[in-house]
Amino acid sequence: MIFNSLQFLFFLPIVFLLYWKVFNKDLTVQNVLLLAASYIFYGWWDYRFLGLILISSVVDFLVAQQIEKEGKVFKRKMFLMISILVNLGILSVFKYFNFFIDSFADLLGLFNLQVNRWSLQLILPVGISFYTFQTLSYTIDVYRKEMKASKDWISFFAYVSYFPQLVAGPIERAKKLLPQFEVERSFNLETAKDGLRQMLFGFFKKIVIADNCAIAANAIFDNYQEADSLTLIWGSILFAFQIYGDFSGYSDIAIGTSKLFGIRLSTNFAYPYFSRDIGEFWRRWHISLSTWFRDYIYIPLGGSRVKNKWFLFRNVMIIFIVSGFWHGANWTYIAWGGLNGLLFFPLIFLDKNRRNLDIVAKDSFLPSIKDAFSILITFLLVCLTWIFFRSENLLDAFLYIQRIFSFDFNGIPQYVSCLPYVLVLLILEWIFRRDEHPLKLKNINKPVRWLIYYSFIFCIFYFMPSEAIDFIYFQF
């Protein structure tokens, strides 16, 4: 089931009414409802994939209890390794097995050694990378004694499979989300209304911005050999807004939906295209994944507490290579991660990787000339990296960039009709960049607020493409 579907339009109100009107007297029954609803939501794609979530849930629930009981370090590590091997083993088979087989065959081909290629005919389960990392963080935190192992399997299973963020995040830590399933929740009208507003803006970003930009970006990338330089630049910009509107739109819908059930999810995007350097961009883009890599890989490697900057750069590169690999079994994602790591190089060696920690133009409406220039340069560099992310293979990515730098300009680029979508999003997010989302509309009288809400609803239905487009991150 996807958010932008008729099924979800009926599913959500039914679960909401049952949750608050029928099962609101007992916390356990509420959690059973959320667990059942989450399994229905996920099983709507293919019920067979529910078995993988069950395996991860059962293994980590039992392993965490053994880790907590065990006093010997060796045995604690042994149980943790069971969790890691099971979770990453499932992920590797379904997501990376064929990639490794093909890459090994290609390597042997370089030495004129031919092998028979064979692969597993597997369908990638939706959102497997997200819930795998979410449940792994639980066992690691229990091992580190940062939280207690859960004794309530219903709450834990509901935490692993919680439907608003199950298939595309945010990737929630157990120590933040799991306790919310273990305490009674009461309905808060203002929180619910804010959730609906955030959902509305999420649908606007997904349907009006992302889906319309996707049509144009796909046409440009699929026919890049025939496009001029300006059109190719425009294509990379359109994809930048497609993936942002798509992914951050999903996060807004997920966070807003969760507010309806009295459960808070983490902010996953913080207006990243207003970043002044690549370091700030990655503090604002897919925050839940970036912080996961920071806490569970970067810091254990030594983080920034290393003896010299080369080791710091090594740690950063490892994080970005792993991040690229997390996104998919394709060398384009690894190249995308490596390129982002290289963009950190000047920041690290100039000791500027921790600057720009505050919001841009915090105390003024317009940015300074310096900030505006930094935002533009950072955005263009990000668009360059997105070319690798979007391309089918490395050759296409390099040829796409090569054609950009052929300086073949033929006037106004194709698909410029998407420009209004991009400008509307930029203006809205700039004006309300200090808020969690633009539709909070603080200090605006009621008639004007409702006029704005109805305007957004009208735009969603008026500019909706004829066919629904899946969320990009479902493939991860």
Amino acid at 167: V
Among 127, 156, 186, residue at a domain's last position: 186
Q: Domain tally for the chain?
A: 2
Question: What is residue 20's predicted lDDT score, i.e. its pLDDT?
Answer: 96
Q: What is the pLDDT of residues 406-449, one digit of tens each?
A: 888 787 788 888 899 999 999 999 999 999 999 988 788 889 99
471 shares a domain with 428: yes
Can you count the helices (H) and strands (E) in the chain? Answer: 20, 0
- pTM score, whole prediction: 0.93
Which pLDDT score is estimated for 48? 87
pLDDT in tens, 52-99: 999 999 999 999 999 999 888 999 999 999 999 999 999 888 887 766
pLDDT value at 401 more than 80:
yes
Token pair of 191 as six digits: 């929180």
For residue 255, the model assigns a pLDDT of 97
Asked if residues 381 and 278 have their Cβ atoms less than 8 Å apart, the reply is: yes
Same domain membership, residue 85 and residue 10: yes
How confident is residue 117, by pLDDT bands cut at 50, 70 and 90?
Answer: low
281 inside domain: no
Q: How confident is the model at residue 6 (pLDDT cuts 50, 70, 90)?
A: confident
Average predicted confidence (pLDDT) for the chain? 91
Asked if the structure places residue 38 within a domain, the reply is yes
One domain for residues 129 and 214: no
pLDDT at res. 411: 75
Which residue shows structure tokens 């983490």? Answer: 266
Is 324 inside a domain boundary?
A: no
Q: Is 327 a catalytic residue?
A: yes
355, 369 Cβ separation under 8 angstroms:
no
Instruction: For residue range 264-315, list pLDDT tens digits in order.
Output: 999 999 999 999 999 999 999 999 999 999 999 999 998 888 878 888 899 9
Q: Greater confidence, 192 or 4?
A: 192
Q: For the chain, how big is the Rg over CA atoms in Å? A: 23
Quick count: other Cβ atoms within 10 Å of Cβ 355? 13
Q: What is the mean pLDDT of residues 36-64?
A: 93
CB 337 within 8 A of CB 320: yes
Same-domain check for residues 208 and 64: no
Decide which of 362 and 200 is more confident: 200
Q: 135 lies in a domain?
A: yes
Alpha carbons 372 and 359: distance in angstroms, whole number: 13
Q: Which amino acid is at 25?
A: K
Active-site annotation holder among 327, 390, 403, 437 = 327
Residues 257 and 110 in one domain: no
Check residue 148 and give its pLDDT.
95
Q: 95 and 17 share a domain? A: yes
Q: For the chain, give the longest Cα–Cα distance.
A: 73
Q: What is the pLDDT of residue 441?
A: 85
Q: Half-sphere exposure of 256 toward its Cβ, with a 13 Å CA cutoff?
A: 24
Residue 317 lies in a domain: no
Angle (deg, nearest 10), helices 419-431 and 211-222: 130
Residue 313 lies in a domain: no
**Mean pLDDT within 118-134:** 80
Structural domain span for residue 197 = 190-276+356-475
